[in-house]
Each structure stands twice: as C-alpha cells, then as structure tokens.
A and B are shown apart, each in its own frame.
Chain A
Amino acid sequence: MKRNTILKKTLACISLMALLLTGCAKVPEAITEKTNTERLEEKAVVTLAAAPAEKTQESQEPQEPPMHSSPLYEKLGAPTRYTAVLNPISDIVTITVDAPVYLPDIDKLPTLHVSPRDFTEQEVMQLFSALCGDTVMYKARQQMTRQEIMERIEDVQTEMETATDKDRIKKLESNLTYWQEAYENAPETLEQEVSQGQLEERQLGLKEYLGKYMALDAYEQQTDYYTHTGKSFHVHGQTFDKNLKSSYDFPISGSIWYDRDDSFGQYLNYNQRTWIADETLVPADARGLAMTPLQARQRVESFWKDSGFSDMAVVAVYLTQNTDTGLSGGTDTPDAYGDNSAYVVACGRSIHGILPPPPSGGDPHWAFESCTFTITDRGIETFIWNSPYAYGDETTEDSSLLSFAAIDEIFQKMMTVKYDETGDAGTLTSAAYHIDRVALEMSRLTNRKSSEKGLLIPVWNFYGSYYFTYSDGHAFGSEDREGFPQPLLRINAIDGTLIEPRYGC
C-alpha cells in the first residue's frame, strides 16, 4: 500500500516536470523554407487591389492592330505597341524597342503544375496511323546480317592498317573484337517484319544496364542496317530510373520523330526559324512555297482533329529554310529540296483553352516540350514531338499579374543591366539589341536542377535581334543562330523576376 502510494507520487512528479519542461521548451523553427516556385505560387494567388493599371504611354506612331483582341490589355494597362530607347552605360551598346505587344485573347491566365510524362501507347498508335497509315511500314532491324558485319570488320581492319594514334588503335581493336563476336552470333539473312505501331521494350546501354524504355523504329524501306528510304517513324520513350546506376542524372525525355523522307529537306529541322506575324501572306523571303502560313496552320489543325487529338493547338507558325549543300549530309544522295523554305508549325496541348508555351531551349536538366510540324507544299515533311508535359493541379486559374508599367520598369532596368556587360568584351566595337516583339505567353519554371516537376506561369517574353561588330571587321548576329527565336529577356509576369532557362527559375 505504502509502496503504491510512493510510486503514484513519483509518477505524478515526473509527469508534472515533463509538462513544465514541455511548456518551457522552445518551439523549434521550421527547418525548411518554401522553394522558389512555391513562393511564386503564393504570389500568383494573392489578389492585388482592384485599381485599374495605368496604361503605359503608347507610341506616337500609328498602332498596329493587335493579333487578337484581349481584355488583358486593359487589365494590365498594356499598350498594343511598345517603344523605348534604353540608355546602357556602355557606349558601344545600344538597345531599342519597337514592338507590337501580343496578349492571349482571354481575361485570366492560370498557374499550374507540370511534370514530364511518357507517350501513351494510344498516342503513338494514333500518330503512327495518321502519319504512316497509308504506307506499309517495317520494323527497323535490330541486328546486322553476317555480310553487313563483315563489311564493318573490313572497314575497321582497313583503318587499322594506317592508324598511328595509339588511343585510336586501341579503340579500333576493341571495335574489331566487338564485331568479330557479333559476327559469330549474327544471322545470314533477316526477315522484314511489318510494324503496326506497337511499342516494344528496349534496354538502354549495351554493356551496362542503364534502364529500360519503350521504343518503336519503323521504315518504309530498309535496304541494309544503316540505309533506309521513304518514311521513317521513331519513338523513344522516357528513360529514367533513379535506382539504376546511370550516366544520366536526369530523364531522357520521350520523343517521336517522323520523316516523310529524311533525305528531303534535311536542314529544315535545324536551321533558323523566323516567327511569322501575318499568317495570311506568304512571307516575302520564302522560297518554293505557294501555301500561306495560315494554310499550314490549318493543315496541322486538321491533322490533330482527324487523328483524335482534340486538345492539341497551334502555338505559332515559323518560316525556315533548307540549306542546299548539293549532297545530303552523311550520304551521297543529293537533297532534292535545295534551298527552299518550309513552315514550322509549333503546337502543344492547350491549357484550358490557353496556348501552351512556344518552343524554348536552354535547360540542361529537363528539355522543354517541343511539338512541331515541318510543312511544305507537299504536305507534312517532318513531325517531331519531344519531352511531353503532363499538366497537373492548377494553383490558380487567375494568376495575380503585375501591371505592364511594372514590367516596363523592370524591362528597362534589367535589359541594360543584362546586356551592358557585352560592352566589356575586348574586341567588340558595337552591340546592338532590338526588341521587335513582346508577348505574354505561358512558360515553364522549375526549381534549381529539377527534372521532375515545375510550374507553368505567365511570362512576358521580349523577342528581338542582336548584332555585334568586332574590331577585326567580322560581325555576328541573331540571323546566324539556329532554331526557334528565343526572347532576349523573359520576365515573370507574377513577381517580375527574370527567368533564365539554364537556371530553371
């Protein structure tokens, strides 16, 4: 009895002490903070005071009619044309602005999550059917015949006879061993198998297991292991397995590539694309094209509709040009398209009726989605779809956007800060930057080096050109760049920070 009483009293004392200590204990601070994108999401949902934005003074010159009428002009106080002359510190740098302002024809823009996804079997089948349905396609050979391997062996042996570099000789010896081993197991002949567009599982990495992915390679005609003619259709599914030892520390994004004939207009997929403002007219510098950009757009829109992709939309139409080298690269076959032009129609899945981001580049960790058709008067020459997105939860359907006046202030300041540095380059004699288009578009943001999730947010893109001259007389400009036009400045429409794809955010 006495012992029980003592025990109860002891327990009571201990409990009381614990309670007191708990009360006195400092509540630990949170050890993590919101990421940059999480803070951005918070800002996106904050509703600003409803005072109408001041309209930036419009240019005195006659206004270009906007591409679409949009309630956002008034909401954000944005002009239809934006002009300015900036004053960089460096004497050799000039920055001018004379740009129509393009806003989406809606009254609100969302902020939503985005993540990488793989192509579905159904998507692949639909595209395969739409692009190659009228042609018998054969599965690409995954093996070489003995004859083909023997030719490789002979090539290696021939090179070994004259090679002098020790590293090269070592490499050739390794190749020779590889081909000789392959020769032992190679078949004499291979039967061609018809492809119905089904994906097959493949292993990444010949010697080291780096992961599995779904793939499809099909040709209209394959004369030998390396040579094919006619249509080709390739699918490379997304490859990423964190648990496997891999030389890749980010996903290999999925891609689909279709060519009507890859010996035709080979440089159409690589050369510079120029954005077309007026799609109703064939651009003056277009060669070998009778169809208008609008017709190209409509061609693509029909394709999507006919093939069952109801949510795919055309983002923009660009003009590109083939390079006439006389020969197609890597083969002796002449490129039949010479230096004629083609339209590149950029597409994407619409975001609740809003256009997806235009093609972009520069993030080494997670490729931006790019879905393009190369159209000539013959029709669809090429279809390339890389790194498809999966749209996730919407943070808000009506992001809180800064007024254009705020964006203007940031633009004028940051344009000079960012490009003033070019004036420090040693032999540069002049650096001229000119903004010729301003557009409010959706763009992808990620946290640093993320390859798994990001945000799609409204971004002010300032497109333009640049031209540098050097003391030795040579010059370089944006005309010499390849690929799609990239903004000279990207400003986050929600918080006004600059966006640089290589940083993600």
Chain B
Amino acid sequence: MKISTRLSLLFVLCSTASLLLCGLLLLHASETNTIRSLQSNGTAELNMLQTSFTAVAAKSIDVNLSDTARQSLLVYLFRGYAEDSLSTSQYILKQGEDTLYNNSGYAPKALLLGRETNTAFLQGRNLLAVGTQIELLKETYQIYLIRDVTDVYEGITKLRLQFVLICLVSLGINAGLILLSTRRALRPLYTLRQAAAAMAAGDYGSRVPLSHGARRRGDEITALSLSFNHMAAAVEEHVSTVNRLAEERKMLLGALTHELKTPMTAIVGYAQSLERAKLSPQQQQDALSFLHRETRRLDRLSQKMMQLLTLTEGEAPQLAPLSARALFEEARGTLLPIAKGYGAVLSFAEQGEVFAADADLLIDVLVNLVDNAGSAGAKHIAIAARGQALFVSDDGSGMSEQILSRVTEPFFRADKSRSRKGGHVGLGLSLVNRIAQLHKAGVQIDSAPGQGTTVSLIFEENLQNPYIPPKTC
C-alpha cells in the first residue's frame, strides 16, 4: 500500500473515530435528556390527574355506596378527565387486578415492569407508561398514564440517521481532503522517486526541484530532497570524473597504442632484419642500438604510463608540509645529472616557502620539467619557490600559442623529431598536470618562441589571482 494511502487511512480513521465518539456521546446525552424529559412530563401530567381526580372523587364518594355504585361514580369521574384531556395520553384506572377503566388497551404492569415510569417498545410503537396510587375511603386504586411517544423516538432515530449521514459526508470530505493533502505533502517524494529513476536511467543532471516555500518550510521531506540533490551532484561529479577518466584512459590507450605502433613496427622490422637478413656487423650494431634505444624508450613510456595511471586512478597522495628548501635539496641529486646531460646549468632559489605536498611527486614534476627544458635546448634552468608557487624557467626554444594549447595532452610532443631522439614519449607535462591536480594546484605555462618557457605550479591559495611568474632566466 502506498504511504500516502496508509497515512490518509490513518488520519481518516483517527478523525472519524474522534468524530464518532464525540457525536455518539452528544447523541446519547441528547437522547437521554429527551427521554428523561418525556418521563418527567408524563409523571407531571399523571400527578395533575391524580390530584384533580382524587379531590373530585373524595368530594363525591360516599362510604355508604355499594361497590357497583362506587365503581360507576369513579369511572364516570375518571373518564371525564381521561376523555376530555387535551393531552394525547390514555389513562387506566384499576383497583388491584380489576380494571375499572382502560381506554388504551395496554396492560400497564407489562409496560412498567415494576418501575414507576418506563418506556417500552411494543407492536411497533414506543409507549411511555407512568403509574401511581391513590387512596379513597381506605381503598387503594392505581392510575396509569400511557402515551404514544413513537414520534419522539422517530425523531431520535431521524437524528441518528442524520448523524450517520453527517458522519458519512464528513468522512467523505475528510477522506478527500486528507488524501489530497497527504499526496500534496508527499509529492516531493514522488518527484524524488522520479529523479532517482532518471538518475538510474543515466540522467545524472536530474534534481528534485524545491520551491522557495518548501525551502522556507525546511521540513523533513525538504531536507531529504536537499540531501538527494547533494548526493545527485556528487554522483554526477563522480560519474563525470569516471567518465572523464575513462575517456582519458581511452584516449591514453589510444595514444599509447598509436605511440607503440610506430616503434613496434620499427622494432619488428629491425628484429626481422636481424633474424632474416644478412647484415653487416655495423648494420647489425646499428640495428641492435636502435632496438636498445627504442625498447628503452618503450620502457620509459610504460613507466610513465604506469605512473600516470597510478596517479589518475590511485588514491590521492597524503600531503604534508614540505619546505622548498628540503624539496630542492632532495631533488638536487636527481636533477643535476639530467641538466648536465643536456649541458644546462641548474639553479635553485627559495625563501623558506612551505607547501602541502608530496615530496616524491613534486620531485617527479621537477624531473619532467627539467627534462623538457633540456629537451627544448635550454642552457639555463632555474627552479624557484615564491609565495605558494614553484617555478621552472628555462631559456629554451619556447612554444607557440598553438603548441601551448595542447602541450599537456598525453603523448603530445612540441617537436616530434627532437623528442623522439631524446626518448621522450610526450607524457611529461600530462604527468605534471596530474600531479598538480592531486596537489590542488594549477599549472600555468608561459612561453613564446625563442623566449624560453616558465612552468608555474601554483598551489591553491594563489589560484584565484592570475600569477605572473618572475623571470629568473
């Protein structure tokens, strides 16, 4: 059963039960009062008759009268009251078990059931019976009043029916209103369900719309909707990230496949030549050197691929406070040989800056940047730390705007021929970019042909302001 239906039923039942209880209590009180009033009126009427009849009979009755004459007198007097009364009541006069006068046809004792006043339902009629006793000349007589009060009971029944009708109508209206209200109140849940379904179907942009009023109310359903929206945003972001990563991987694999194809073709060709062709020792040496060079390049490629993949898919590194000085001292040993290999001079400058960083990763960054600088023909490579940024500047060949726009793409090489010779696979700046992302840092590359290149690694606090790197070379 739907929650709206359950809630509606519950509310309707509760309200109906309350209405019924109150109504029944009121009805019962009203009925009781009516019947009590009836009995009271009947008693009053009988008392009046008793008083008048007793007075008149006492005046007329004679101790010397025979039984027959006395009965005749009493019946005459009693009938005068009974028949001429404006009331609709009927009267009975008895002396013990003897009925002297009865114009009702009912047996009073059967109606009274031992009480002085009683209402009974007989032969389809509601009858009020009241009885009393009088004494005349030491003889006891009983006077009874019988009144048909069916119309009063019919009125009560009618009232009950009206009450039932009102209850049914109220129930109907109540049920309708409650159902509408509940459904309206729970409508956000339906919207939530729809949004969840849409999300399950792949629409990660689906959100639960919340009106200004709903937000102002801030009820549980609004809170749930907001939570859902946050969750949906997070899911969307994650899915986007996953998709992006998948796309990147796809691209990476595609690029890798492409990068592998050329050297593999050459490797296979040279291997086939070595195997099949008769080559001179020099040719064999050249071929083996080529094979060695390419395989080493492929090895580097695979290492960098692994590193890139690890950084892309792995957990975020633990960032700890790292001073620039410590970083440079640790990296110096690795960087100097690389620079020397290119015939470049390496310099370091810092002023005690501290970054939240992973030392190994930042060293990787510096290695790749120094390697690229050397590859670009730089003779002076300056590594500096200032504020919340690291800079690697060179006086190499520089890059045009066109190249700058693609330079961080995996496997993109600004100068293919020189990069291949140097064993570059085009993943260095991709790695630098990825490492910067992991450090929540931005990479800014400033370069112009013939004017060298400065790669700035700007940590988060400084990302808001465009940073103009110092020209250190």
Contact = CB atoms under 8 A, between A and B. Distances in A.
A403 B110 CA distance: 36
Contact of B69 (A28, A39, A406): A406
A418 B75 CA distance: 12
Given A414-B72, A497-B72, A36 B109 contact: no
Contacts of B111: 31
Nearest to A406: B68
Given A31-B122, A413-B73, A417-B73, A448 B103 contact: yes
A409 to B, nearest CB: 5
Interface in A6-50: 28-36, 39
B69 A496 contact: yes
A275 interface: no
B99 A33 contact: yes
A410 interface: yes
A401 to B, nearest CB: 12
Given A406-B66, A503-B83, A36 B72 contact: no
Contacts of A491: 72
Contacts of A36: 101-103
Nearest to A503: B83
B333 interface: no
A410 B106 contact: no
A447 interface: yes
B173 interface: no
Given A39-B99, A414-B72, A496-B71, A32 B107 contact: yes
A53 to B, nearest CB: 13
A496 to B, nearest CB: 5
B181 interface: no
Interface range on chain B: under 10, 10 to 19, 20 to 34, or 35 or more?
Answer: 20 to 34
Q: Is the interface of A mostly helix, strand, loop or mixed?
A: loop
Interface in A368-421: 402, 406, 409-410, 413-414, 417-418
B360 interface: no
B125 to A, nearest CB: 11
Interface residues of A, number: 28
Interface in B26-82: 60, 62, 65-66, 68-69, 71-73, 75-77, 79
B105 interface: yes
Nearest to A417: B60
Interface in A453-505: 491, 495-498, 500, 502-503
B68 A29 contact: no
B417 to A, nearest CB: 104
Contacts of B62: 413
Nearest to B90: A448
Nearest to A35: B105
Given A31-B111, A33-B107, A414 B73 contact: yes
B103 A447 contact: yes
Contacts of B90: 448
A413 to B, nearest CB: 5
A237 B72 CA distance: 38
Contact of B68 (A495, A498, A500): A495
15 contacts: A29-B107, A31-B122, A31-B123, A32-B105, A33-B92, A33-B102, A413-B72, A417-B60, A447-B103, A491-B72, A495-B68, A495-B71, A496-B72, A497-B71, A502-B83
Interface of A: 28-36, 39, 402, 406, 409-410, 413-414, 417-418, 447-448, 491, 495-498, 500, 502-503
Given A33-B107, A409-B65, A418-B76, 14 more contacts: A28-B110, A31-B107, A32-B107, A33-B105, A35-B102, A402-B68, A410-B69, A414-B73, A447-B105, A491-B72, A496-B71, A498-B75, A498-B76, A500-B79
What are the 8 A-B residue pairs with the smallest beta carbon separation, nearest first?
A29-B110, A448-B103, A31-B110, A496-B72, A496-B68, A33-B107, A409-B69, A498-B76
